[in-house]
Chains A and B, each alone.
Chain A
Amino acid sequence: KQEVTQIPAALSVPEGENLVLNCSFTDSAIYNLQWFRQDPGKGLTSLLLIQSSQREQTSGRLNASLDKSSGRSTLYIAASQPGDSATYLCAPSNQAGTALIFGKGTTLSVSS
């Protein structure tokens, strides 16, 4: 059964820092992997989707990489801002169109 771990569980940084959030998964036979952002009490906002055949995806200041063979994905946030403060969730899926398996997230706090 797929298990997803996100490290660290919480992270506090000053504004402007570049940072890396880590995600590891136990079953490397994934179909794709999504990164989400969740603000307190709100739903999930999709940030990036990486297909299993891709190595990375970029959107603005965000870059997500995928290493299937080692069961790892990282989310890189450049020049962090206070508005980036949220919980970030990593979620692979094992087949097309099936449910995601979620990690417990990394809660990021960016201070001004």
Chain B
Amino acid sequence: DVKVTQSSRYLVKRTGEKVFLECVQDMDHENMFWYRQDPGLGLRLIYFSYDVKMKEKGDIPEGYSVSREKKERFSLILESASTNQTSMYLCASSSGLAGYNEQFFGPGTRLTVL
């Protein structure tokens, strides 16, 4: 079975802190994604990566950056956390092979910024 893991289930940080959210997948997938989920707004794409060291902005990249140094790991970085970044963060991965693009999600990280 595909497994996507995220470094923390719950995280509490202070305004202005630099925050790292880590995501690891074990299926050698080319594509990895970071979404955030908020009540009433649904899931929105922050960034995605289709290869090592490659990244593309999603719909709401402001205030975030990403890093993909190894194929299995995709990190989301909040450069200076703000209260409006309190949210559920979900990581996903998928194969780059046509016809095999099913996305698999991690358990999520509930981030609270005080």
Contact = CB atoms under 8 A, between A and B. Distances in A.
Interface of A: 31-32, 34, 36, 41-46, 49, 51, 89, 91, 93, 96-100, 102-105
B48 A42 contact: no
25 contacts: A34-B102, A36-B105, A41-B108, A42-B108, A43-B107, A44-B92, A45-B105, A46-B105, A49-B101, A89-B43, A91-B43, A91-B103, A93-B101, A96-B96, A96-B101, A97-B31, A97-B50, A97-B94, A97-B96, A98-B48, A99-B33, A99-B35, A99-B45, A102-B42, A103-B42
Given A44-B90, A97-B94, A34 B110 contact: no
Nearest to B99: A51
Closest 8 CB pairs of A and B: A44-B105, A102-B43, A43-B107, A99-B45, A43-B105, A49-B102, A104-B42, A43-B108
State which size class the interface on B falls in: 20 to 34
Nearest to A31: B101
Interface of B: 4, 30-31, 33, 35, 40, 42-43, 45, 48, 50, 58, 90, 92, 94-96, 98-99, 101-108, 110
A94 B80 CA distance: 33
A46 B102 contact: yes
Contacts of B110: 41
Contacts of A96: 96, 98-99, 101
A13 B16 CA distance: 46
